[in-house]
């Protein structure tokens, strides 16, 4: 992958990764985790505080890793799984409420399948090996 494809994938990876990390993960990380954990409990998860932290880290750390292209496939897979749960949470809401989770899921699934591309830390590490 070279040229425009590399630029396009990098742009998508950086924008969606940073948006997920800073727009969704960071507010949970710095906010009231008990409130988020209560929402996780309403979904029926055991150990809701643990799973709330897992989701928060998948969004924040996973988003940052996707953005820089390091451990990209597993990070995108974890963030994508979190978006599956978010879609489930918003299953009865109007489409506009679930649309963002669907977009993040689609992008993270695509990145998990495609990989980070040539302009990433993953590619830099591979070139050194």
Specify the pLDDT at position 2.
72
Specify the pLDDT at position 128.
86
Tokens of 91: 């299953």
Confidence of residue 1 (pLDDT cuts 50, 70, 90): low
Nearest of 4, 19, 21, 11 to residue 116 by alpha carbon: 11
Q: d(Cα 57, Cα 78) in Å, to the nearest integer? A: 9
Instruction: Give the model confidence (pLDDT) of 8-64 as tens digits.
Output: 999 999 999 999 999 999 999 999 999 999 999 999 999 999 999 999 999 999 999
pLDDT higher for 111 or 127?
Answer: 111
Residue percentage of the chain with pLDDT more than 70: 98
Does residue 40 contact residue 50 with C-beta atoms inside 8 Å?
A: no
Average pLDDT over residues 73-87: 98
Q: Output the pTM of the full model.
A: 0.94
How far does the chain reach from its first CA to its final CA, in angstroms? Answer: 19
Confidence of residue 121 (pLDDT cuts 50, 70, 90): very high
Find the domain containing 69 and state its range.
Answer: 4-128
**DSSP letters of 77-101?**
HHHHHHHHHHHHHTTTS-HHHHHHH
Q: What is the CA 101 to chain-centroid distance, rounded? A: 10
Helix (H) or strand (E) holding 75: helix 72-89
Count of structural domains, the chain:
1
């Amino acid at each position: 992958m070279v040229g425009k494809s590399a630029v396009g994938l990098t742009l998508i990876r950086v924008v969606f990764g940073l948006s997920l990390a800073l727009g969704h993960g960071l507010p949970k990380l710095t906010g009231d985790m008990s409130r988020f954990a209560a929402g996780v409990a309403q979904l029926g998860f055991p150990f809701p505080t643990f799973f709330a932290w897992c989701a928060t880290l998948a969004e924040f750390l996973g988003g940052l890793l996707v953005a820089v292209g390091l451990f990209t496939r597993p990070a995108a897979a974890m963030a994508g799984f979190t978006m599956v749960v978010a879609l489930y949470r918003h299953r009865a809401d109007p489409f506009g409420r679930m649309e963002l989770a669907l977009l993040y899921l689609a992008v993270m699934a695509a990145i998990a399948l495609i990989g980070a591309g040539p302009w990433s830390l993953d590619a830099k590490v591979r070139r050194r090996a």
